[in-house]
Amino acid sequence: MPVSWPRPEHPTDLATRTAGLAPTQIQVLEAAARSIRDGALAPAEQALGAMLAQAPEHPEVLRMLGILHTRGRQYDAAREALAQALQHWPDDPLALTDLGNAEQAAGDVETALAYWRRACALAPDYPMGWFNLGRNLQVLGFTESAVEALERACTLEPALLPAQVLLGDSLVHLGRFDEADRRYRAALALHPACGDAWRGLANMKTRPLSEADRAQLSTQLKRTDVAEPDRIAMGFALGKASEDQGRYEEAFAALSDANARQRRLAPWHAGGFHGFVESVVAAGAKLPPPPDPALGEEAIFIVGLPRSGSTLFEQILAAHPQVEGASELPDLGEVLVEESARRGQPFPQWVPSTGAQDWQRLGRRYLERTARWRRQRPRFTDKLPENWLYAGVLGAMLPGARIVDVRRDALEAGWSCFKQQFYRLPHFACTLTDIAAYVRDYEAAMDRWQTAAPARIRRQPYEALLADPEAEIRALLAFCGLPFDPACLDFHRAERAIRTPSAAQVRQPLSRDTARAERYGRLLDPLRLGLGRALAPR
């Protein structure tokens, strides 16, 4: 006879959620949850396996198993485990949320949103449910809806720090900078050393941080009880505040310390990356001709070094009535990761064994995952900068796609990277010499691919746009197969969510005064040397 488990009256009713389990079993379940959180999937799988042997139908154990399978990219198994949990607790908001997470990871965004919204409807007074919905809406690009959900979370629980910060981020993406400033400072009132709130304030690039902000950051950084992630984020913010106040040596010192701390978390290895790039270039040297040369003509990839103007060029294209600006999409990399898992080999080791039909299948998978960006307009941009690594194989996978390679003066772009905190680790931008090594690899690979396929890949200099905006915009639109539209000249007036650190900058007309590196003189000589530039005068 099936076991009947008491239904939790509230998502956080832990006593009911674990009813029927012995204290030692609860400890094992909590340990499994911590392992999943920390990415240690093997210990979590072992612990949950033992739990299932003792309580095979317990809904909380099944829910945790579903989370584990989602983290392990076993989406069918995740759906099955969570469906079993929901057979016992049909209206459990947590299980519905986790099922939504599994559907999103599998690429079914619409189903995921339905589950998340249902979870909020079932527990309308649960602030974490609204926060989860808002966070996912923000990630998926539904920024206005994200603001509504996050405002609901903050109303229910004003002290919910992550909701205040993420609401600030969402407001920035909509260009509502005064409101965003208030949300970040509300978060700082709760936690003066909140690195994410300081990061949000610093990322509004066009709004200087004040001398009072600089002093407050300096005070907080002297504390001994600050968590390392907060210390790193505040270090980057202190660098901006010092630059805003003309304290360039102090800015360089703050940014150097923050980058050194960031690098210690996960060092980036220039030699290993160089070898990877060479293997990618070699693997893509002999790809089969595509059976459908037009496949992917809906997509416009914008690639290059971060902080080179990719958001600006996306804003220009997104002002066109035929183009949706989708921002930095993970889908291309995710499709290749899925194929790597299917073949049991990492990219690009499996590339030589592929045929034309394999690449066509992968191209169609990418278009399937990104279909929602073509509901209102027929074309869309994907501006994840590091997609340059796949520019070669895109010739077989999405041969109809256009690739815009944005090039800004490497010294200025590299220095801008050093000033920006990147969260995906390891990252090349933590030392000036690593930045130079990355630039060399990126430019060499893209130069080779662009020479081989000039009709598919366009090198787009940032400085050329500043010198002659209309001529460059007309040429860019022609390359993308788009008719000229004067709205693209007034790109800063385009109303759309912009989900990058350039959200404030691209809402302004073009400015020719964007160079900053010369203010730092010889401090940037390691970057100049790595780029083969003349050193700064003494």
What per-residue confidence (pLDDT) applies to 537? 83
Q: Which residues pair with 323 in a beta bridge?
A: 379
Rounded to whole angstroms, how far apart are CA atoms 130 and 151? 9
For residue 224, the 8-state DSSP code is S
Rounded to whole angstroms, how far apart are CA atoms 77 and 339? 18
Give the pair of three-digit tokens for residue 146: 């994200």
Burial class (CB in 10 A: 0-12, 13-18, 19+), 188: buried
Residues in the chain: 538
Give the pair of three-digit tokens for residue 464: 């050329």
What per-residue confidence (pLDDT) applies to 367? 98
On whether the CB atoms of residues 331 and 384 are closer than 8 A, the answer is: no
On whether the CB atoms of residues 491 and 319 are closer than 8 A, the answer is: yes
The CB density around residue 528, as the number of other CB atoms within 10 Å, is 20
On whether the CB atoms of residues 268 and 434 are closer than 8 A, the answer is: yes
What per-residue confidence (pLDDT) applies to 109? 86
Report residue 340 CA to chain centroid gap: 21
Strand 299-304 to strand 379-382: parallel, antiparallel, or no bridges (unpaired)? parallel
pTM greater than 0.85 (yes/no): yes
- Helix (H, G, I), strand (E, B), or coil: what is residue 352? helix
List helix spans (H) across 10-92: 14-17, 23-37, 41-54, 59-71, 75-88
What per-residue confidence (pLDDT) applies to 536? 84
| pLDDT tens, position by position, 354-392 | 999 999 999 999 999 999 999 999 999 999 999 999 999
What per-residue confidence (pLDDT) applies to 1? 41
What per-residue confidence (pLDDT) applies to 112? 93
Q: Which residues, given as ranges, of the chain have pLDDT below 50?
A: 1
Rounded to whole angstroms, how far apart are CA atoms 154 and 285? 53
What per-residue confidence (pLDDT) applies to 437? 98
How many CA atoms does the CB half-sphere of 258 hold within 13 Å? 30
What per-residue confidence (pLDDT) applies to 284? 87
On whether the CB atoms of residues 79 and 108 are closer than 8 A, the answer is: no
